């Protein structure tokens, strides 16, 4: 079983374990669990072992590196030089990037050992990980359920103890929602906090990269490695990067937490109960709870699906079968247009899955002449109103708290045929992307009281499913989010790993 960053670092520093030991344990766990979880698209065992041995060879160089010898999994939409990067799409099934994403370079500079690329929804579009061209990821707490999406493989890998930390990307909740549904911590940093160079673009005004881990401390350490400006990403911010671990004081007596009560009506009863109980814990620690009003929050999900699909349709125009990725081979007799445009259209029809096509279609429509003002421009104006709600709230409070997901993990297949039902899973997460604000999801309990799922997940049980508390903060104030989440974590003893062993298939 994989430990936390702190445990791995302590073991390596004290000489109890080598980086190679830690790495081979992680690889063995992945080999055992991946057939049932489908969390990894690619595992780079040889490369990882070589890297771990390199770190073992030069302990002086790596002594103070924050992630030296720590196994890390990367969502498969982060480019890795020489390692295939698929975005879980047929379009990029054999794509080998000629460069590393900035976050990959920063992780390696900090000593991380990259073990593989995690499964996700195709081009990070979805809420359940069912849109992967390589099959759904399964939730380690209940194998018949979704892990959430789109960073479902990263969340499942961390939850199952395959790696202490994984990176995800979050366009509408894709780090936080799977973190909540898999019982781990997930942070979407402020827009601009982390460079997106080398992230396969979904919606450029919304996308951010962030860490998933089992403890708030590990998320803080990893954010410190990732954050900071990058000349290769003009949207990365020059804001100073504080020592995030120094913020973890356990003291929340000065904190005012805003609770948008009106927004929480009609959510799952167990999610509501767990959220209230978590807020009560924070109140007992000295935080003040304040009711806040976010009058435009109920427009956030439809606004998100107008804005994000418009941006996606534009971003995904690059997949044309010319420079890299898949090209349709069919030049057969039934093909109407055997020229360039016909090749484009066939390549895209065969290379993209249903949800990606649906979003490209919707985005193309809302940007098209005659409809642009009514849909896209209208949504952008509504986005301003949603942003202003938060600006106003942050005049009174330091953070806004709400559940991460309105329900615990649903069963695989339960919502897949109804796009609107699927999109409603994002109601609490999309606002942070539309407003660019940082947001964290921290485990706050389980369904069915204190019960936990049966070994490997019981298909008939509704109990034992993780629930996440979400905190949204001021722009570039990740430190306060981490401080509150850590203080809460100190008061809880939720099981941090699913019942083992996960059955091999």
Partner 1 sequence: MPAGFTRDQIAAIAALAHLDLDAAEIDLFARQLGEILEYAEVVQQLDTAGVQPTSSVTGSHLSDRADEVQPSIDRDEALAGAPDAAVDAGFFRVPRVLG
* Ranges within 207-236 binding partner 1 (CB under 8 A): 229, 231, 234-235
Site residues (CB under 8 A) for partner 1, limited to 187-206: 191-192, 205
Residue (270 or 311) nearer to partner 1, CB: 311
Q: How far is the CB of 370 from partner 1 (least distance, A)?
A: 11
Integer angstrom CA distances of residue 467 from 305, 404, 426, 483, 499: 25, 8, 14, 20, 16
d(CA 50, CA 178): 31
List, in sequence order, every residue forming a beta bridge with 40; answer none if it has no partner. Answer: 118
What's the closest the beta carbon of residue 187 comes to partner 1, in angstroms? Answer: 17
If you search the block for the tokens 């973890």, which residue do you land on? 248
The separation between CA 304 and the C-alpha centre of its own chain, rounded to angstroms, equals: 17
Site for partner 1 in 236-275 (CB under 8 A): 237-239
Least spacing, CB of residue 238 vs partner 1, in Å? 5
CA 392 – CA 297 distance, rounded (Å): 13
Task: Name residues contacting partner 1, limited to 327-346 (CB under 8 A).
Answer: 327, 331, 338-346
* Separation of alpha carbons 78 and 87, rounded Å: 8
Nearest to 124 by CA among 164, 170, 74, 165: 170
Stretch in the footprint of partner 1 (CB under 8 A) among 12-20, 211-219, 243-251, 355-363: 355-363
Site for partner 1 in 448-487 (CB under 8 A): 475
CA 266 to chain centre: 25
* Residue of 61, 63, 381, 490 that binds partner 1 (CB under 8 A): 381
* Closest distance to partner 1 from the beta carbon of 300 (Å): 10
* Tokens found for residue 85: 């990067």
CA distances from 127 to 164, 170, 312 (A): 23, 11, 16
Considering the complex, what minimum distance in angstroms separates the CB of residue 217 from partner 1?
Answer: 28
Give whichever of 28 and 340 is closer to partner 1, judged by the CB atom: 340
Smallest distance, partner 1 to C-beta of residue 203, A: 11
Q: Which of residues 361-380 bind partner 1 (CB under 8 A)?
A: 361-362, 364-365, 368, 374-375, 377-380
Q: For partner 1, give the closer residue by CB, 106 or 196.
A: 196
Given a contact cutoff of 8 angstroms between Cβ atoms, the answer to whether 167 and 195 are in contact is no
Angle, helices 19-37 vs 45-57, to 10°: value is 160
Residue whose CB is less far from partner 1, 88 or 245: 88
Q: Which is nearer to partner 1, 338 or 490 (CB)?
A: 338
Site for partner 1 in 58-117 (CB under 8 A): 95-99
Q: Select the span of 136-144, 280-288, 293-301, 456-464 touching partner 1 (CB under 8 A).
A: 293-301
Strand stretches in 359-504, DSSP E: 399-403, 439-446, 466-473
- Rounded Cα gap, residues 443 and 480, in angstroms: 17
């Amino acid at each position: 079983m994989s430990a936390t960053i702190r445990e791995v670092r302590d073991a390596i520093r004290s000489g109890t374990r080598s980086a190679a030991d830690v790495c081979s344990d992680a690889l063995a766990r992945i080999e055992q669990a991946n057939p049932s979880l489908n969390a990894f698209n690619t595992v780079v065992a040889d490369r990882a072992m070589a890297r771990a041995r390199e770190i073992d060879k030069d302990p002086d160089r790596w002594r103070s590196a924050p992630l030296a010898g720590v196994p890390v999994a990367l969502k498969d939409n982060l480019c890795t030089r020489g390692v295939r990067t698929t975005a879980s799409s047929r379009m990029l099934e054999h794509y080998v990037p000629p460069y590393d994403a900035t976050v990959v370079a920063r992780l390696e500079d900090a000593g991380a050992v990259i073990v593989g690329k995690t499964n996700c929804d195709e081009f990070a579009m979805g809420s359940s990980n069912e849109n992967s061209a390589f099959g759904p990821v399964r939730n380690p707490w209940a194998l018949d359920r979704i892990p959430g999406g789109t960073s479902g493989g990263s969340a499942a890998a961390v939850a199952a103890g395959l790696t202490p930390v994984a990176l995800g990307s979050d366009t509408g909740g894709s780090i936080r929602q799977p973190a909540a549904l898999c019982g781990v911590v997930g942070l979407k940093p402020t827009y601009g906090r982390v460079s997106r160079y080398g992230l396969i673009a979904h919606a450029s005004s919304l996308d951010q990269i962030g860490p998933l881990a089992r403890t708030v401390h590990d998320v803080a350490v990893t954010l410190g490695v990732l954050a900071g400006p990058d000349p290769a990403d003009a949207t990365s911010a020059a804001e100073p990067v504080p020592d995030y671990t120094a913020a973890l004081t356990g003291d929340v007596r000065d904190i005012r937490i805003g609770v948008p009560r009106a927004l929480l009506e009609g959510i799952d009863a167990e999610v509501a109960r767990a959220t209230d109980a978590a807020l009560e814990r924070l109140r007992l620690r000295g935080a003040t709870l304040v009711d806040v009003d976010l009058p435009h929050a109920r427009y956030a999900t439809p606004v998100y699906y107008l804005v994000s699909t418009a941006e996606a349709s534009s971003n995904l125009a690059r997949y044309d079968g010319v420079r890299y990725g898949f090209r349709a081979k069919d030049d057969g007799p039934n093909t109407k247009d055997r020229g360039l445009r016909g090749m484009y259209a066939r390549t895209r029809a065969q290379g993209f899955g249903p949800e990606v096509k649906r979003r490209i279609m919707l985005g193309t429509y809302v940007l098209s002449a005659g409809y642009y003002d009514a849909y896209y421009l209208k949504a952008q104006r509504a986005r301003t109103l949603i942003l202003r709600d938060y600006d106003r709230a942050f005049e009174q409070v330091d953070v806004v708290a709400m559940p991460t997901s309105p329900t615990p993990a649903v069963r695989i297949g339960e919502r897949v045929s109804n796009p609107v039902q699927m999109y409603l899973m994002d109601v609490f997460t999309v606002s942070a992307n539309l407003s660019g604000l940082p947001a964290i999801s921290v485990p706050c309990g389980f369904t069915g009281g204190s019960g936990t799922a049966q070994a490997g997940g019981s298909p008939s049980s509704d109990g034992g499913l993780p629930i996440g508390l979400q905190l949204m903060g001021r722009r570039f104030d990740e430190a306060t989010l981490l401080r509150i989440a850590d203080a809460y974590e100190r008061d809880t003893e939720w099981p941090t790993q699913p019942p083992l062993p996960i059955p091999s298939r």
